[in-house]
Amino acid sequence: MAVASAFLFAYTSRACRRFAALLLICLLPTGAVVAASQIDTFNFADEVQERRYRALIEEFRCPKCLNTNLAGSDAPIAQDLRKVVYRLVVIEGKREQEVRDYLQARYGDFVLYDPPFNGQTWYIWLVPIGLGLLAVFVLIRLLRGARWEATVLDEQQQARLQEIVGHSKSSSGAPGQSAERK
């Protein structure tokens, strides 16, 4: 990406250059982040194995860091856990779920970015649903309050209406409203 924008920078007109330079500046940090993700020297038998390993280290949270996955952390414990994932996947040939169970048994739900529904986590699942329901409820209340409703008039009101309509007819000839806003 950065290379492409540098190319653009070189070959665009003066007017565009400023924009291209801005783009380049914006992209620089992304390049740096990509470069900062951790690279270990592991050997894989085939591409499938490597893909499984990479997907798994992307999936787990580093226990030492508040919000970095195993793939992106250079904490010593993340390095060790990447080795463990490598051993489980490549050397012991474990399936994905077995690797998840292994890490969960040792480091708890914390390492899973997808927390299970249990006594400790129920509220993070239920609060958004509850707030959604509350929003629907409030919306319905608001819409109902704003609705235009036909008003049924009793005899007395009918008579009064006739009187007014009759009066306005005789004075201006404009038709009156048969309903009024509640």
Partner 1 sequence: MSRASLYIPLGVFVLILGLGYVGFDLGARNELPSALIDKPFPEFQARLLDAPDQTLSREDLLGRPALVNVWATWCPTCLSEHAQLMQISAATDVVIVGVNYKDRPDKAKQWLAQYGNPYDWVLDDRDGLLGIEMGVYGAPETFLLNAKGEVVYKRVGDINPRIWRDELAPRLRQLGIVMTMDNTDTGAD
Residues forming the site for partner 1 (CB under 8 A)? 63-64, 66, 76-77, 80-81, 84, 104-110, 131, 134, 138, 141-142, 145
**Shorter beta-carbon distance to partner 1: residue 127 or 179:** 127
Cβ-based nearer residue to partner 1, 145 or 175: 145
Give the chain as a 3 state SS string. CHHHHHHHHHHCCHHHHHHHHHHHHHHHHHHHHHHHCCCCCCCCCCHHHHHHHHHHHHHEECCCCCCCECCCCCCHHHHHHHHHHHHHHHHCCCCHHHHHHHHHHHHCHHHECCCCCCCCCHHHHHHHHHHHHHHHHHHHHHHHHHCCCCCCCCHHHHHHHHHHHHHHHHHCCCCCCCCCCC
Please report how close the Cβ of residue 96 comes to partner 1 at its closest, in angstroms.
Answer: 19
Residue number with CB closer to partner 1 (14 or 144): 144
Q: How far is the CB of 151 from partner 1 (least distance, A)?
A: 19
Minimum distance between the CB of residue 152 and partner 1, rounded to whole angstroms? 22
**In this complex, which beta carbon is closest to partner 1, that of residue 63 or of residue 72?**
63
Closest CB 42 distance from partner 1, rounded Å = 16
